[in-house]
Chains A and B, each alone.
Chain A
Amino acid sequence: NAGVMQNPRHLVRRRGQEARLRCSPMKGHSHVYWYRQLPEEGLKFMVYLQKENIIDESGMPKERFSAEFPKEGPSILRIQQVVRGDSAAYFCASSPSGQGAAGYTFGSGTRLTVV
């Protein structure tokens, strides 16, 4: 039973490019959460999705960031026109239905570096 799979592990983008981060939840998990970890800080919630629905996007920056979790395939966190301040580790977690935060399994994260 593979855990939460995130790819790529490392991603380098030039300022102004787009970054696409992927997250495949654990088998049987229907809830996906994205968190961002800036250097020397804790993780901060960005968005919570279920299949084809955004449930809570209260932590998402208003511009350039979007997330989806389609019926088929992984969840995608998309950052358009990246800037240096977007450099961070982005973590995905998944949880089975009904367990919420108590059922989290985290992926290994994607480290985004904007040059």
Chain B
Amino acid sequence: AQTVTQSQPEMSVQEAETVTLSCTYDTSENNYYLFWYKQPPSRQMILVIRQEAYKQQNATENRFSVNFQKAAKSFSLKISDSQLGDTAMYFCAFGSYNTDKLIFGTGTRLQVFP
């Protein structure tokens, strides 16, 4: 069974600085997706970034980028130039090609302060 582990319950960063959130996972599958979702206080689940395991190139979306290490089963999220609006819970998730369901980590609460 797949598992997703986020070992940082809380993180904080100063506005305009860079922060990295960690995620590790376990699977025996070779092809899969990995995601980072943002959940602000409004509770909406917002897709931040997606990585397909067969792609060696790390995904990037504006200020958000990932460091995907397939052999180490590691998938960290880097947020550059942090903004106050980045304050939220961040969830790492694993998606199998074989099933349509997502396996989520327990989340990291990120606080961006002025």
Interface of B, secondary structure class, is strand
Task: Contacts A106-B44, A106-B45 given; indicate if A56 touches B99 (C-beta within 8 A).
Answer: yes
- For the complex, what is the distance from the CA of A40 to the CA of B91, rounded to whole Å? 12
| Interface size range of chain A in the complex | 20 to 34
- For the complex, what is the distance from the CA of A100 to the CA of B95, rounded to whole Å? 9
A1-40 at interface with B (beta carbon < 8 Å): 31, 33, 35, 40
Contact A56 B101 (CB under 8 A): yes
| Interface size range of chain B in the complex | 20 to 34
- A63 close to chain B: CB less than 8 A: no
Binding site for B on A (CB under 8 A): 31, 33, 35, 40-45, 48, 55-56, 59, 89, 91, 93, 95, 100-102, 104, 106, 108-109, 111
Chain B nearest CB from A44 CB (Å) reads 7
Interface of A, secondary structure class, is strand
Nearest residue, chain B, Cβ from A111: B43
Contact A101 B44 (CB under 8 A): no
Chain A nearest CB from B65 CB (Å) reads 19
